[in-house]
Amino acid sequence: MNYTIDLLHLSQLSPHEHHDAAHAHKLAREIGTKGVWITPILVAADTFVILDGHHRFAAARALGLDRIPCVLVEYDDPQLQVASWRVARRITKGCVRRAAREGQLMPEKTSRHKLSIKYPPTYVPLYDLMHCSVRHPAITPQIKEHKPCSTN
């Protein structure tokens, strides 16, 4: 299976669970201090539902970013496993799809999505994620713009 890392606009992404605001704020400070986005979030390719990275998504919003690097994966990919962080709670891919589709977000840290392959860090300067008109040479060829930015 081929995996791509695309720059997706935050407005395209749909969470399926809540996040801890304090943790997201702490993460935003850490990412802001580094000045680069390193770890892409995991997203379903067909629906743009966030599978892993709700806190990073919230941190990106807090930082005022327009877009973030995302690993796109087919949700039925056998390399992608879903489980629950919570004891005695069974989570299925169907539960996640339903929560995102209906906008009934699950409690934070309910689902745990794990891709059995490692994907590379991105090292995209935050400035490039804030401003659509600027492309930085540090954006590697494996990363592509999924939706062009408007210049208006």
Distance CA 111, CA 87 (A): 11
Per-residue pLDDT of the chain (152 residues; tens, 9 = 90+): 678 899 999 999 999 999 999 999 999 999 999 999 999 999 999 999 999 999 999 999 999 999 999 999 998 888 888 888 777 778 888 888 888 888 888 888 888 888 888 888 999 999 999 865 444 444 433 444 444 333 33
3-class DSSP assignment, residue 87: coil
In a domain, 14, yes or no: yes
Q: Given the residues 17, 102, 108, 145, select the one marked as catalytic.
A: 17
Tell me the CATH number at 123.
3.90.1530.10
Q: What are the residues whose beta carbons fall under 8 Å from the beta carbon of 67, sequence distance 6 or more?
A: 7, 8, 9, 10, 129, 132
Residue found by looking up tokens 């791509």 in the block = 4
What per-residue confidence (pLDDT) applies to 136? 42
Question: Residue 43 corresponds to which tokens in the numbers above?
Answer: 């997203």
- 17 is known as an active-site residue: yes
Q: Is residue 150 part of a domain?
A: no
Number of domains in the chain: 1
Domain span at residue 9 reads: 4-145
Whether 45 is in a domain gets the answer: yes
